[in-house]
Structure 1
Amino acid sequence: MAMVAVQTQNQLERLMAVAAGGETDRHLAHLILGPRRGVGCLPLNLGLEAEQFARLIERHFADDSDLIAADPAEKHLIQTRSDLREELMRIRDDERIELVELLEDFRSPAAPVELSLIIATACLGGDHLWRDLGLPDRSELSDLMQRAYPALKALNDRDMKWKRFFYKQLCERGGGYVCRAPSCDQCSAYAECFGPEE
């Protein structure tokens, strides 16, 4: 197991070196390698169709696609986990589409078009969004949001947890995700929305 950890760490370091030319690629490196390292809740294709995923890799990591291969010793387990996550994702696809539409309304033209779908897919996981995306910490997610969705990041001026913030935005748009509190300050779940993420 230690050998696998070393191999995946080297893989991450090599892919991050490839990504050193741009912040978008740095974040994408984490997103792509997360499922291959057993980190986060994304399937291997990040929630994208096969052609979309192939284009994303071609655009950002064309000369280094060998770096994203799963460890052969873990390949079966990783694929099984990915298949299950894709099945769960399809069950909640209407919800995912609403999240994509929200994100797309704010996406910077410089950010990859696939990013909204990747983030929306991770929102269906059961942990903090940064963990479900496979990022190393919350600050990486905040940085990604600032670069790819600056106007949406600015709306989260109270540093609400990202998933809760997205669903609050859907609620305010008249979606089916209703928050029962008259205001955040009066809500009994305030700490769940604004408390620290560990």
Structure 2
Amino acid sequence: MQTEVIHPRLTTSSTSRDVYYSQLMAHAQKNTENTHILACMITSWLVGQGNMPTRLGLNDNAWNKLLQQYFPNYKLPARHLPSHTVDISRLPEVDELRTLFYTHCDNLTQDKQCFADILIAGCMGNDHLWQDLGLWSRKDLTALINNNFPKLAAKNNRDMKWKKFFYKQLCLQEEIYVCRAPSCEVCADYQNCFGSEE
């Protein structure tokens, strides 16, 4: 369940990011945590931060509906739109990731389907997932998953890095066990999965 939240003005070295964020929030349908998170991702994409493809990986129809739902009447600055594209449908794990997100969602609405596809596009990046998505902190990513895929969030009760956690879930579904250590606590790669992302 989404609750209304008030977000303080975020400090950043990028004035244009602050401007875009303020413009988006001024057009927001509601001031929810999902609204803030989506505004952060769009803003970062507009200024070339993060590692997201065009329209955050969504097709035109899904993108336009998501914008209309969250930021009605906001017009994106077309001359500044980045045109980095990735065809996520060609990646072998897309269907498995989508199924993972959908089955851990209490009420699969159209915007939650969009957030699933955005997360999938973000998983294709090489940095921490929250950074690739263009979020401004790992807390925003955790909130995004809690708000939209609460059953999945509940499974990550040891605070594993999200991208590693998603792929571990895929391995468990297929009964593929690639970790050699008997438990995470004694694994030599523990910091890679559970270390700080900040």
Shorter-chain TM-score range: 0.7 to 0.9
Is residue 58 of structure 2 the alignment partner of residue 52 of structure 1? no
Change (3 A) 1:123 1:175: farther
Could you tell me which residue of structure 2 aligns to residue 98 of structure 1?
A: 96
Give secondary structure in 2 for the equivalent of 1:107.
coil
Could you tell me which residue of structure 1 aligns to residue 155 of structure 2?
A: 155
Q: Please identify, of 182-191 and 16-25, the stretch whose mean Cα deviation from structure 2 is larger.
A: 16-25
Give secondary structure in 2 for the equivalent of 1:117.
helix
Distance (Å, rounded) in 1 between the aligned partners of 2:153 and 2:106: 11
State the superposition RMSD in angstroms: 2.3
TM-score norm. by structure 1 comes to 0.82
| Identity score, percent | 37
* Alignment map for 1:173-188 (pairs within 5 Å): 173-174=173-174, 178-188=178-188
Structure having the larger proportion of residues in helix: 1
Change (3 A) 1:115 1:63: same
Could you tell me which residue of structure 1 aligns to residue 77 of structure 2?
A: 69
Stretches of structure 2 lacking an aligned partner (at least 5 in a row): 1-13
Letter in 2 for 1:32: I
User: 1:18, CA displacement in angstroms?
Assistant: 3.2
Distance (Å, rounded) in 2 between the aligned partners of 1:53 and 1:175: 35
Contact 1:122 1:129 survives alignment (8 Å): yes
Distance (Å, rounded) in 1 between the aligned partners of 2:127 and 2:16: 26
> Size of the alignment, in residue pairs?
183
User: 1:186, CA displacement in angstroms?
Assistant: 2.6
User: 1:118, CA displacement in angstroms?
Assistant: 0.6
Contact 1:168 1:179 survives alignment (8 Å): no
User: 1:113, CA displacement in angstroms?
Assistant: 2.0
User: 1:148, CA displacement in angstroms?
Assistant: 1.2
Contact 2:27 2:73 survives alignment (8 Å): no
User: 1:173, CA displacement in angstroms?
Assistant: 0.3
* Alignment map for 1:1-198 (pairs within 5 Å): 5-19=14-28, 21-64=31-74, 66=75, 68-69=76-77, 72=79, 74-75=80-81, 78-79=82-83, 82-83=84-85, 86=86, 89=88, 91=90, 93-109=91-107, 112-174=112-174, 178-198=178-198
Query: 1:142-198 CA deviation, whole Å, 9 max, x = no partner?
Result: 111211111111111110000011111111001768334332123211011011113
Give secondary structure in 1 for the equivalent of 2:38.
helix
Contact 1:36 1:44 survives alignment (8 Å): no
Q: Which runs of 4+ in 1 moved over 6 A?
A: none
Distance (Å, rounded) in 1 between the aligned partners of 2:118 and 2:179: 25
Distance (Å, rounded) in 1 between the aligned partners of 2:112 and 2:126: 25
Distance (Å, rounded) in 1 between the aligned partners of 2:175 and 2:18: 41
